[in-house]
Chain A
Amino acid sequence: MPLIAAFVATIAGWVNKKYCFAVAALGLTGALTSSVGLLSYVLTHGPVQYRLGGWAPPFGIAYQIDPLNALILVVIAAVALLNLLGTQRSVALEFSEKIGAFYTLYLLFVVGMLGIVSTGDAFNLFVLLEIASITGYALIGMGRDRAPLATLNYIFMGTIGASFYLLGVGYLYLITGSLNMADIAAILPQIYASKVVLFAFIFCMAGLFMKMAFFPVHGWLPNAYAYAPSAAAGLIAPLTTKVMVYAMVRIALFVFKPEFTFEQMGIGEPLVWAAVAAIVMGSLLALAQRQLKKMLAYVIVAEVGYMVGGFWLGNRAGISGAVLHIVNDAAMTLVVFMAAGNLFYRLKGDSFGALKGVFREMPVSMAAFVVGALSIIGVPPTCGFFSKWYLISGAIEAGHYGFVAALLFSSLVNAVLFFRIIEIGYFEPFTHANHHGHHQPPVRRFREVPMSMLVPLLVAAGSLILLGVFSGDLVTKVIHLALPGQIT
């Protein structure tokens, strides 16, 4: 089972010079179907390895697909496809002349993401990371007023992050002489004591933390996401940080072994506290925002804290929660950003003031937004609840009550955040109530966005609930299969 997915999409990207959306959609559909196929294949037959160029792994590059990354592949492809379908019109609106270039970049970004997830080679991961980053820079850089500056900051942070990662890989290569993840993992245990290994680990993690905007190196994210064009934000916001978290999981568990990562390093505890800080700060800063997308961006910062913290709890529940949250958060971020994109498409602004009375004008988009919001708050049966459940039970198991408190705190703050928006959209402008309770609702046009933007959004919103309902299966049948046995 080769990773046809990526190639179909890539090639679509190049053929696509003829300004066609259809090719992109087709390519991503292909990617989605093949990754779903891959997932089911992996689930029944166990991990798959694909040798590119036909060379055996330590010498050539290999793709290594286990249930975990097959799952993430499905998520990526699905998110990309839905967002693509849902934003067709806003793309046409925002980049009337550069649609071809936009879709090419879009597909290349997805290719990069798919590759990062599936590759089994530490250096290949870097190259793919850069593809995703460069296309990401370009997509974000086309946004409104402050976007170029924000993007430049993103480039600086991103480059430092990627370089750190590269440095970490260099250290690993220096000390092991290998670049293949499995090979490194086999060699490393003999030399855990070396300081070089330690620094290699620190560099890899530091680089990935920068890329995923983990507090306190989250500075680039809010502006970059807030000013990005909606179509790009809907793609990049759900994927970048989550895929980076996945890369972290992969490096920490499958290159370095869990016993090294969690026992020898002894950085789990401080990192969980950093995650607590990320969650708290992300939530508080989100509270201070007066712009929808910016607020959502800070919520993402907090969500990254969830995942990183959950992972570094180092027990099975915590890690399952973190991985489940990768999937769930991708879905819910997609929903809220797509909804925000729809609002932006109609309202031409996303400050809170512009949202007045939006429920009446765009009930369907707002309904989807509410579902996404509920999921982020963590209300059952949406998926956000279940990943939070695992995270919290992991934290209780690890005796880390600070993390529990932070999660609950952020749920409450999220509730405040989203209900503030919902209130504005629902109540304002106030109806003039007369004494007898006769209300004349303000007559405003029903201005819902076109069907082509609504249907993908609704599908995404529905998937939140489906993911929630099936999260048990997801955890027991997919995630637990993939986690190394040492983690209890």
Chain B
Amino acid sequence: MRIFGLLTVLLCGGLLIYHTADFPAWGDPASPASTHLSPYYIEHSIDDTMVPNLVTAVLADYRSYDTMFETVVVFAAGIACFFLLRAAKSKTPESMLYRHIPTGITLRIEKGSKTPPDSADFERIDSVWVPYDLIIKITCRLLVPFIQLFALYVVAHGHHSPGGGFQGGVIFGAALILFALTHNLSNSLKRINEKTSALFAASGVLVYAGTGILCLLLGANFLDYSALAPLLGGDPKMAHSHGILIVEIGVAIAVMAVMVWIYYNLASRGRHDEGL
């Protein structure tokens, strides 16, 4: 099997390398890819959309339909993970671990025994991550808001610098995942629970599609932002710019929520009781 695999791979690789001879040279400004469509984008997008970041302009305007489906893919992945993994309400586990916060002592409570009082001193912890990690916890707690702020910046500033809805969403999601990693899953579930994340995911996609449909209702083609001009004020070009922002926000919301959602499911085998 190993030999066979290697042979196949070598054969394919050889063929592929062989025919690269016909490729235009790497980085050649005169290659067809750089001369057919892209000049149009480069030279017109600023006029058409008022967005200096060409990637954003192309992504969310010229090829916005692709991007919408990209968001749908993410959403589908989130639902798929939920669908595949989410288990029904879990049974109460055999034993639960609690930590007494002031002392850092870990208590193991067998099933059926009396649970500690529901006070601020005790917290339930996961069985897989026992050590008390004050430093990490505090550091991350401090970091998380800044990461989130940065994420918002990335989303909002996608017009002018690298970034945009997708990156921003992922970063935001990563911040939440970081929180869930350093604290435990139930803690972060308390802040954004499953329903919320599903709702966010769906609403993100809805914002995107809704924009498209709004354009449709306003008499233009699907996702033709210039139709939004009367609603947003400004000329059609500015409307393009704003439209891009709106859909980027939609993408960000959806991506953020889905990343968190997938993480919840993966980390707890769909039971949503104990994370990493």
Direct A–B contact present (CB less than 8 angstroms): yes
Choose from B84, B206, B224 the contact partner of A54 (Cβ within 8 Å): B224
Choose from A14, A148, A176 the contact partner of B202 (Cβ within 8 Å): A14
Q: Is B33 a contact of A124 with CB atoms below 8 Å?
A: no
Residues of B within 8 A of A101 (CB): 79, 82-83
Per-residue contact bits, chain B 1-33, to A (CB 8 Å; 1 contact, 0 not): 000000000000000100101111000000111
Residues of B within 8 A of A104 (CB): 79
**A17 and B73 in contact (CB under 8 A), knowing A137-B80, A175-B32?**
no
Instruction: Check if B222 is an interface residue, CB within 8 A of chain A.
Output: yes
Chain B nearest CB: distance from A118 CB in Å? Answer: 11
* Interface secondary structure of A, over-half rule: helix
Complex: A97 Cα to B86 Cα, angstroms: 10
Choose from A61, A177, A195 the contact partner of B36 (Cβ within 8 Å): A177
Q: Is A105 a contact of B23 with CB atoms below 8 Å?
A: no
Residues of B within 8 A of A130 (CB): 73
Per-residue contact bits, chain B 34-45, to A (CB 8 Å; 1 contact, 0 not): 111110110000
Chain A nearest CB: distance from B197 CB in Å? Answer: 12
Per-residue contact bits, chain A 1-17, to B (CB 8 Å; 1 contact, 0 not): 01000010011001001
Chain A nearest CB: distance from B230 CB in Å? Answer: 16
Q: Is B73 a contact of A127 with CB atoms below 8 Å?
A: yes
Q: Is A174 a contact of B23 with CB atoms below 8 Å?
A: yes
Chain A nearest CB: distance from B60 CB in Å? Answer: 9
Choose from B35, B38, B80, B224 the contact partner of A53 (Cβ within 8 Å): B224
Complex: A272 Cα to B143 Cα, angstroms: 61
Q: Is A123 a contact of B66 with CB atoms below 8 Å?
A: yes
Complex: A142 Cα to B85 Cα, angstroms: 9
Q: Is A195 a contact of B40 with CB atoms below 8 Å?
A: no
Instruction: Check if A309 is an interface residue, CB within 8 A of chain B.
Output: no
Contact residues, B189-207 vs A (CB, 8 A): 198-199, 202, 205-206
Closest A residue to B38 using CB positions: A177
**A199 and B86 in contact (CB under 8 A), knowing A61-B65, A174-B24?**
no
Choose from A97, A111, A148, A196 the contact partner of B22 (Cβ within 8 Å): A196
Residues of A within 8 A of B226 (CB): 54
Residues of A within 8 A of B31 (CB): 174, 177
Residues of B within 8 A of A60 (CB): 62-63, 65
**A131 and B84 in contact (CB under 8 A), knowing A52-B221, A175-B32, A194-B22?**
no
Residues of B within 8 A of A123 (CB): 63, 66
Q: Is B221 a contact of A124 with CB atoms below 8 Å?
A: no
Complex: A53 Cα to B68 Cα, angstroms: 11
Chain B nearest CB: distance from A195 CB in Å? Answer: 4
- Residue of B75, B209, B220, B222 contacting most chain A CB atoms (<10 Å): B222
Categorize the interface residue count of chain A: 35 or more
Instruction: Check if A135 is an interface residue, CB within 8 A of chain B.
Output: yes
Q: Is B32 a contact of A174 with CB atoms below 8 Å?
A: yes
Residues of A within 8 A of B62 (CB): 53, 55, 59-61
Instruction: Check if B267 is an interface residue, CB within 8 A of chain A.
Output: no
Q: Is A61 a contact of B83 with CB atoms below 8 Å?
A: no
Residues of A within 8 A of B221 (CB): 2, 50-54
Instruction: Check if A108 is an interface residue, CB within 8 A of chain B.
Output: yes
Contact residues, A336-352 vs B (CB, 8 A): none
> What 5 A-B pairs come out closest when comparing CB atoms?
A177-B36, A138-B80, A54-B224, A177-B32, A52-B65
Which residues of B come within 8 Å of A, CB atoms?
Answer: 16, 19, 21-24, 31-38, 40-41, 61-66, 69-70, 72-73, 75-77, 79-84, 86, 88, 198-199, 202, 205-206, 209, 212-213, 216, 220-226
Q: A61-B63, A195-B19 are in contact. List 14 more A-B contacts (CB 8 A).
A: A10-B209, A51-B221, A53-B65, A53-B224, A53-B225, A54-B224, A58-B36, A58-B37, A59-B40, A175-B32, A176-B32, A196-B22, A196-B23, A198-B19
